[in-house]
Amino acid sequence: MILASASPRRRDLVSLIIDRFDVVPSDFDEDSVPGGLDPPRHVVYSAEMKALKTASSRPGALVIAADTVVVIDGRILGKPADEDDAARMLRLLSGRTHQVYTGVAVARDGVLRSDFECTQVTFRRLSEDLIARYVASGEPMDKAGAYAIQGKGGVLITGIRGCWFNVVGLPLYKLSRLLEEFGIEPLST
């Protein structure tokens, strides 16, 4: 079993339900996702391509892949390019509710199963000082939407509706259902 992700958060989440797996980050370029896809299709396409690309060079391996984006006003926010971009994203999210979409895919020997999860997240109103302090912490820099609910970014959030694990980056329930389609029983591996 392989997790096709360099994300330490995803590695930690997978380890909650699967005892043994290898980490082999996918080299799929997320910037190559076709434009114009709605958020669910965007994240599913990216997760599928990561899973298929990794599985194609590892016959017999079961490969898990995921992609997460933050969506506000119909716009997809990926990872910030720099600190100014992180601050811009946080200003957009301030005092508002947005959606977090994660696509998850499982592939083995040309067989592919995928799904997505959407969670509503509401931010408190953020002062410029709070934004500056949070950006200076460095935490936003490799996170979709420029925040981490499981880290310091938890102080920015007033509530969520839906799957918390999805906001971290991997909806465990959806992953467990996909694994079951391959005959893998989570919590028993």
Active site residues: 67
Q: Are 154 and 168 in contact (CB under 8 A)?
A: no
**Residue 55 to residue 47: CA distance in whole angstroms:** 12
For residue 68, give the nearest of 105, 113, 21, 32 by alpha carbon: 105
Residue burial 82-119, b: 16+ Cβ < 10 Å; e: rest: eeebbbebbebbbeeebbbbbbbbbbbeeebbbbbbbb
